[in-house]
Structures are given as C-alpha cells and as structure tokens.
C-alpha cells in the first residue's frame, strides 16, 4: 500500500507540473498572436530584389506564420516609385490603421499619423524581430540597423527620377534603396540621418542594391512588417 500511495503521489505531482508548464506557456503564445509589427530577423538574401511588393509581403507572412502570428494579413513597409506607366505606392497606405505592437506587447504606434511623428515608440529596444530579438545596431558586430523602406519621412514614395527602391524591389544589380535606422536610442528627432524610415540611400561597390552593398553600410536587407488587419 505505501508503494501504491507513493506511485499515485508521484503521478499527481507529474500531472500538476505538466499543467503548470502549459499554463506558463500561454502568455507567450498570446503575445505572439497579438504581434502586429516586427523587423524581419533575416533578409531574403538577394539584396534589393525582394520579388517586388508581393514577394516582400509574402515573406512577412511566412515569418509571422512561423512565429505564431500568421492569422493576420501582413504587409511590408515599402514604397514604390512611378515606373512603366504604373503609379507610385506609399508605404504608409499599405499597413492598415494600427495600433501596432511588437512581440513583447509594447505599442510602437497608435495609428499612421503617430507612426510618422516624433512621438512614435520605435527604438532599438522596441523594433524587435518576429522572434522578439533586438536587431544589431551601432556598436554591435555586425551592425544590421539599415532597414529597407524606399520612403520619405512621411511614409510616401519618392517621385520618379533617382532610384530609391532598387527598381521597385526587383533588382540586386541596379539602383539604390532608401533605408531607415532601426536603432534610435538617444537620437534627436530633428536629425534626418537617424530616422527610422529615411536615413540615407544605400551605396556600395556594386552601386547600392546587392547584398554586399547593403551590408557595407550596416544593413542586411531587412525590412519592417506590419499587420494590416
């Protein structure tokens, strides 16, 4: 009897421990499902050629799905310029109305206007990947803070002329891309070179759109993803 009682006690303890572990895991799952913004943890790997907007959107969706937030419709924060008879597309018009929060549940912007104001909450500590990881910035090795946007400060596209979108995200050999900086800790809001979405054009030995070009100025072909619903 004592042996049987001991066996039952151990079984009950094991079941209780398993139940506790399940309950402890639920908040993390809930946070993942509530994620509505992230920086891609890795780039597509082909420089500025993302397969166009459709390819970039699909990549956001894939990463979100893998992180447990795939129930939403995801869009890449990227603009395109007028070309081949097609009008420009503004990044700010692609991402829904907000609010948006990172994988830790921290709100980074309440709406589109807030996102494009000095009051947004985009910093190195909050611009996390879909995995909840901080993106390497200044002082880290390697620095990966350059984020592809192709956008002006207000989230609109650049006019036709100088390429700022690597041929509307279809080229890794021609053009350049406007990038923002994911790490804004302690930076002045009036310093345009430190903007989250329009810091400087890409450049490098191949011109600006190859994977090596993006890495040469502190990037890795990363971009922002927002849940549009």
Write the pLDDT tens digit of every residue in 138-183.
999 999 999 999 999 999 999 999 999 999 999 999 999 999 999 9
Residue with tokens 């869009």: 75
| pLDDT for residue 29 is more than 70 | no
Q: In sequence order, which ranges of the chain are alpha helices (DSSP H)?
A: 2-34, 52-66, 112-115, 166-169, 211-216
Which of the listed CATH numbers 3.40.50.300, 3.10.100.10, 3.40.390.10, 3.40.640.10 matches domain 35-227?
3.10.100.10
Biggest distance spanned by C-alpha atoms of the chain: 87
Stated pTM of the model: 0.86
| pLDDT for residue 205 is more than 60 | yes
**Position with higher pLDDT, 31 vs 72:** 72
**Position with higher pLDDT, 22 vs 127:** 127
């Amino acid at each position: 009897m004592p042996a049987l009682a001991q066996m039952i006690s151990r079984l009950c303890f094991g079941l209780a421990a398993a139940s506790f572990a399940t309950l402890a895991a639920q908040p993390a799952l809930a946070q993942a499902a509530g994620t509505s913004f992230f920086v891609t943890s890795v780039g597509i790997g082909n420089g500025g050629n993302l397969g166009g907007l459709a390819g970039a959107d699909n990549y956001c969706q894939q990463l979100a799905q893998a992180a447990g937030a795939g129930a939403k419709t995801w869009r890449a924060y990227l603009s395109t310029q007028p070309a081949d008879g097609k009008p420009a597309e503004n990044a700010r018009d692609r991402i829904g109305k907000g609010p948006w929060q990172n994988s830790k549940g921290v709100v980074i912007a309440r709406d589109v206007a807030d996102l494009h104001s000095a009051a947004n909450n985009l910093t190195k500590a909050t611009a996390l990947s879909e995995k909840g990881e901080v993106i390497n910035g200044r002082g880290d090795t390697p620095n990966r803070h350059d984020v592809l946007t192709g956008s002006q400060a207000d989230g609109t596209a650049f006019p036709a002329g100088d390429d700022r979108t690597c041929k509307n995200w279809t080229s890794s050999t021609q053009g350049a891309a406007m990038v923002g900086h994911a790490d804004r800790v302690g930076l002045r809001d009036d310093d345009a070179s430190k903007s989250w979405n329009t810091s400087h054009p890409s450049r490098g030995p191949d011109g600006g759109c190859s994977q090596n070009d993006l890495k040469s100025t502190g990037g890795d072909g990363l971009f922002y993803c927002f849940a549009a619903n």
